[in-house]
Chains A and B, each alone.
Chain A
């Protein structure tokens, strides 16, 4: 089972915002949501090697390579200047700059960083779409003596099925889950999907004491955490006390399409939402460090 491959959009060797302590974060390519406010939409789909981006690359870092009749885009990272023109012209909300990693190569990479990190986090995209790989990776980390102190966490939209969670739970230390909206129709408007499974996931992880953080993205006049404040507060209060309630403020960075017309969330708006939750007895709120 060591030959599984993951499609990775990016690896961040040191992050302070993806779980407890210092973490190496693996961003996996591909998402089952299509959020209007997505701030990295090029991670949503897998590249289909259509080649539209190739001619737009100013440094010829992209080429089409055909072997055995199958054409694939080759990305030369040495030539790439990270201008991201390829991402902006992609008709598929994808990227030609993804890489395939096997378990062994990721374990080697993590081993190299082990003195500096408290754990690893898989993020996305939607990480749980590559569940078998994640399970193998976490298993490999836990069974490697030099790495066994590292915590393994997932950052997810919560759409994984209950049966999927049960496979992951034995090797999972904690999850950060986005709750994108309170009302079903708001959730559907923002993400294109219903949120039945998100609540199921939140409940299951709470029961197993593996819910590290719930994240609410406040988009003034779009998301409904403020208009549904009573219900939201009541729900959050019944979660275990240890769960961090992370409030995020919507910003335009990375956002494309109609959500760019939405107003951003100011510090004052964020503080107001936080105050209203606090008034209603919600504790363990974590607010943004910066509003950029």
Chain B
């Protein structure tokens, strides 16, 4: 009776709220169904940890990420929600508060809250700055308290406006875990002093992420895009139907040598990844009835704008394995090494792998994709990952100085349309020198970084992936539980992956999928 025992454990867990328990019970219920029919070979690859479905569930009934067109919603109101169009800022904020509770995601909490400055600016006429501040501050507190999940993402910028500036001010003031925040930067539009405020905020609370707006915008059509969850860039009015990720470390272990890796092993496992993507997406689109939702009927999302994310991780290990590098030790850190992140040949092999993946993903059709394709994604890890580094990142604790770090990885960024995150750990001296952060950020973006994310060592807020946790919360989590879903994930991640060990650290993760004591 393992299944029922597990339910009892969840139900009687002293550290979870009833709502958190309900979520885990639902996951357990879905997990008790037989898996979608897949080939023996895919199943073996899944079991062996080569291909991972992110524990999205055995029978997907909602897309992984949903990015509704909130501007349209405010303009037209909603028949389903019995709301007329918003006519002022209060109504707009109220309407958003309502719809957020109807936007599903893999975690059941919305991961995209909208490009809030674009959406709200039409409602600011005649509202004075102090009122805007007061209203947005209450809205911000409401978000953190009612939707406590740091995957929930707000976008602002690249234009300079009062909503954007007020949100930056409030975010630095409140230092909340939620919502997560991306500031879009466009050198042709964004004034330096606005970017400076954003980078000063990073010194204060490790938020926002700075997104390279022109690169993202170019990757999508005129309908636009959004940054959601942890640095996932996806079509607006669409989203990701599923994310399946490939463990490059395991793929490299199967290869005889570099040539075999490129000629046989990598294409083979990409093919299997695609089969799993197809199976999962087909069920969602054809069987689950998700696309009957009012979100579709009222035109807030379009089925054709959902794409599968083709995720990869373990690049660092793959490169080191293919080059027969010995395991990196503490002693190696200060000197030039042969390892990924430190050595040009190793870095170039990494770039070559990214390029090969890009070619495969851009040429492989899928039934339900964006223009018939999946979108390549450098996946930020989940809390069960052990001895494998997220995405294309340099392993924890072995990163070179921030500039060398950026230079080693910049080349990858052009390939990862649906997102890539490399978190730079910067020691706390930068807190008193936000100009340095500003310059580092500009340098990274000018080199082609899609997203600049930094973590300042002594911040109580630490990015343990795409999301933030409080170090002080981690210390007390074991005894008391946490109000926020993600602190639990952070604590688990910190223990399993050694994220908080050693050097000032940061990791990346996206999701802790299943219940674990």
Contact = CB atoms under 8 A, between A and B. Distances in A.
A46 interface: no
B430 interface: yes
Interface stretch (B229-237, B242-250, B442-450): B442-450
B432 A22 contact: no
B432 A16 contact: yes
A82 interface: yes
B335 A78 contact: yes
A13 B406 CA distance: 12
Given A22-B440, A115-B446, A290-B428, A80 B458 contact: no
Interface in A61-95: 77-78, 80-82
B411 to A, nearest CB: 15
A17 B442 contact: no
Interface string A106-144: 000000110111100000000000000000000000000
B145 to A, nearest CB: 32
Given A16-B430, A289-B431, A21 B439 contact: yes
Contacts of A115: 442-443, 446-447
Nearest to B406: A116
Contacts of B334: 80-82
A140 B203 CA distance: 33
Nearest to B405: A14
A51 interface: no
Nearest to A76: B335
Contact of B443 (A16, A78, A116, A289): A116
B204 to A, nearest CB: 14
Contacts of A17: 429, 433
A14 B440 contact: yes
Contacts of B426: 16
A22 B436 CA distance: 4
B436 A21 contact: yes
Contact of A80 (B335, B440, B442, B447): B335
Contact of B403 (A80, A113, A286): A113
A20 B404 contact: no
Contact of A117 (B430, B439, B444): B439
Interface in B395-449: 401-404, 406-407, 426-433, 435-440, 442-444, 446-447
Contact of B401 (A14, A21, A112, A118): A14
Residue among B428, B436, B442, B443 with the most chain A CB within 10 A?
Answer: B436
Contacts of A117: 403, 439, 443
B331 interface: yes
B336 interface: yes
Nearest to B329: A81
A201 to B, nearest CB: 25
Interface residues of B, number: 30
B506 to A, nearest CB: 16
A183 to B, nearest CB: 30
A112 B336 CA distance: 17
A288 to B, nearest CB: 9
Interface string B174-188: 000000000000000
A99 to B, nearest CB: 13
Given A14-B402, A14-B403, A118-B439, A289 B447 contact: no
B403 A116 contact: yes
A277 to B, nearest CB: 18
A12 to B, nearest CB: 8
Contacts of B403: 13-14, 113, 116-117
B335 A21 contact: no
Given A78-B336, A81-B335, A289-B431, A118 B436 contact: yes
A14 B335 CA distance: 17
Given A14-B403, A77-B336, A82-B335, A20 B435 contact: yes
B401 A13 contact: yes
Contacts of B435: 20-22, 118
A13 B431 contact: no
Nearest to B400: A13
A110 B294 CA distance: 57
Interface in B439-485: 439-440, 442-444, 446-447, 458
A78 to B, nearest CB: 6
A14 to B, nearest CB: 5
Contacts of B429: 15-17, 289-290
Nearest to B332: A81
A90 to B, nearest CB: 19
Contacts of A12: 401
A80 B334 CA distance: 9
B304 to A, nearest CB: 39
Contacts of A23: 436
Interface string B314-335: 0000000000000000010011
B487 to A, nearest CB: 26
Nearest to A17: B429
Contacts of B447: 115
A77 B335 contact: yes
Interface in B331-363: 331, 334-336
Nearest to B441: A116
Interface string A1-12: 000000000001
Nearest to B444: A116
A17 B432 CA distance: 9
30 contacts: A12-B401, A13-B401, A16-B426, A16-B430, A16-B436, A17-B429, A20-B435, A21-B436, A22-B435, A22-B436, A22-B437, A22-B439, A23-B436, A78-B335, A78-B336, A80-B334, A81-B334, A81-B335, A82-B335, A112-B407, A115-B446, A116-B403, A116-B440, A116-B443, A116-B444, A117-B403, A118-B439, A289-B428, A289-B429, A289-B431
Closest 9 CB pairs of A and B: A116-B443, A22-B436, A115-B443, A21-B435, A16-B433, A82-B334, A22-B439, A16-B429, A16-B436
Given A22-B436, A115-B443, 17 more contacts: A12-B401, A16-B432, A17-B433, A20-B433, A20-B435, A22-B433, A22-B435, A77-B336, A78-B335, A115-B442, A116-B439, A116-B440, A118-B435, A118-B439, A289-B431, A289-B432, A290-B428
